Amino acid sequence: MNIVVTVKQVPDTWAEKKLDAADKTVDRVSVDNVMNEMDEYGVEEALKIKEAHGGEVTVVTMGPAKAVETIRKALSMGADKAVHLTDDALHGSDALQTSAALAKVIATLSPDLVITATEASDARGGVMGALLAERLGLPQLTQARKVTVDPGAGTVSIERLADNGYALVEASLPAVVGVVEKINQPRYPSFKGIMAAKKKPLTTLSAGDAGLDAGAVGLAAASSTVVDSQPAPPRQSGTIVKDEGDGGTKIADFLAAQKLI
């Protein structure tokens, strides 16, 4: 099995999210950055499939130079190799441009299976898997809480998370599968894995290397841009109820006034 997993470096979940004052893109410079948490589940699932059926796991990311930190984590978890698409010309690319760029890279790897997260924690667009499937001309299975691959039959089946349980869905390989966080428990990189990651193949590509037109990517050519933003209003302090023997009554009266009971 030749498995490709897309990963992304995002601002830390607990960091204050803000936009760059100059171009309104997500500020990735003044905050700590980590691998998108949902991508860890994708990497783990790819490794489990590899362990069951053999093959190779390649992680692919698009991002600035320091996104290599995210690549190294995936490699230390057990991925075999990585491709890093990085170029100043890509800064500010929207989802359409990003999917086009990633699809160009992924197509050269001829994967049997592409695994993505449901969404990234920075933009929460949740569209990358669908865009990649469309551009690659592959079927897509989404919201997978369990993945079963049958290389002999050339199929992949999933338990698709639904509101009232799950649905069984199957597609022919190659395919794109989007996983949810309930699918597994990502492993922690071992010291041995961290050291081994430093020696694993890492291919760095520029926009030109990937066959991209520099004028068709980046903020200037983006189909969607942020025009303006406003900070969320400060939270108002709550109502403090002093209990002098009638605290329960006061709370009940307050809830009734808010039409909550």
pLDDT score at 218: 87
Q: Is the dihedral of CA 13, 18, 24, 29 positive or negative?
A: negative
Report the first-to-last Cα separation within the chain, whole angstroms. Answer: 57
Q: Which of 67-76, 100-109, 151-160, 213-222 has the lowest mean pLDDT?
A: 213-222
| CA dist list (Å): 138 to 90, 160, 175, 240 | 25, 18, 5, 57
- State pLDDT tens for residues 71-90: 999 999 999 999 999 999 99
The DSSP bridge pattern shows strands 2-6 and 81-85 to be unpaired
pLDDT score at 64: 92
**Across residues 223-228, what is the average pLDDT?**
84
Domain ranges for the chain: 2-221
Bond before 189 cis per omega within 30 degrees? no
Superfamily of domain 2-221: HUPs (3.40.50.620)
- State pLDDT tens for residues 86-106: 999 998 899 999 999 999 999
Neighbours of 3 (CB within 10 A): 28
Q: What is the pTM of this model?
A: 0.84
pLDDT score at 46: 98
How large is the angle between the packed helices 37-53 and 68-77, nearest 10 degrees?
40
More confident residue, 258 or 117: 117
